[in-house]
């Protein structure tokens, strides 16, 4: 008698493909380092206040769950709404583009599965567009 039991396909989440917790920290840290030092991101940097540590941790927690890793943000704060926390900020095309400039550069710097980089960039572009609230 042959074994015909189907085994579930092993899928690797983007969280795992980026390097898990350590890889995601590298991405988020690179993103905020770039935002903090690249003068082309001055408008978006000004929206974040003087200390980036709190927002860095919050974005790490949110991205962890969004990328298929531990749902840290949900465990701490409940179901996330991406647009609500951004309503207080005038996020137009320039701010959106500056955010993406920082994210593209961070994605380019951080070592990860190369087949993940382009889909992540596209997903981040959609997210950046979702929080844009000014023309």
Task: Tell me what pLDDT residue 80 has.
Answer: 78
CA 121 to chain centre: 9
Q: Is the pLDDT of residue 4 over 80?
A: no
Is the separation of the CB atoms in 116 and 23 below 8 Å? no
User: What's the CATH number for 14-131?
Assistant: 1.10.490.10
The DSSP call for residue 47 is: T
pLDDT band for position 9 (cuts 50, 70, 90)? low
Q: Is the pLDDT of residue 107 over 70?
A: yes
* 0.95 exceeded by pTM: no
Comparing C-alpha atoms, which of 10, 37, 15, 9 is closest to residue 105?
Answer: 37
Q: For the chain, what percent of residues have pLDDT higher than 70?
A: 93
Task: Tell me what pLDDT residue 10 has.
Answer: 60
Is the separation of the CB atoms in 65 and 79 below 8 Å? no
Task: Tell me what pLDDT residue 7 has.
Answer: 47
Every domain of the chain and the residues it spans: 14-131
| Cα 36 from Cα 32, distance rounded (Å) | 6
Q: Write down the mean pLDDT value for the chain.
A: 91
The DSSP call for residue 8 is: P
Q: What is the largest CA-CA distance in the chain?
A: 68
Number of helices and strands (H, E) in the chain? 7, 0
pLDDT band for position 2 (cuts 50, 70, 90)? very low
């Amino acid at each position: 008698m042959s074994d015909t039991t189907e085994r579930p396909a092993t899928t690797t989440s983007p969280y795992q493909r980026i390097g898990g917790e350590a890889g995601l920290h590298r991405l988020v840290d690179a993103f905020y380092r770039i935002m903090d030092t690249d003068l082309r991101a001055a408008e978006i940097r000004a929206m974040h206040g003087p200390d980036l540590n709190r927002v860095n941790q919050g974005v790490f927690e949110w991205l962890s769950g969004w990328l298929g890793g531990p749902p840290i943000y949900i465990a701490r704060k409940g179901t996330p709404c991406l647009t609500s926390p951004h309503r207080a900020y005038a996020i137009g095309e320039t701010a959106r583009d500056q955010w993406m400039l920082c994210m593209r550069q961070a994605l380019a710097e951080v070592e990860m599965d190369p087949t993940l980089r382009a889909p992540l960039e596209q997903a981040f572009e959609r997210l950046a567009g979702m929080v844009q609230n000014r023309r």
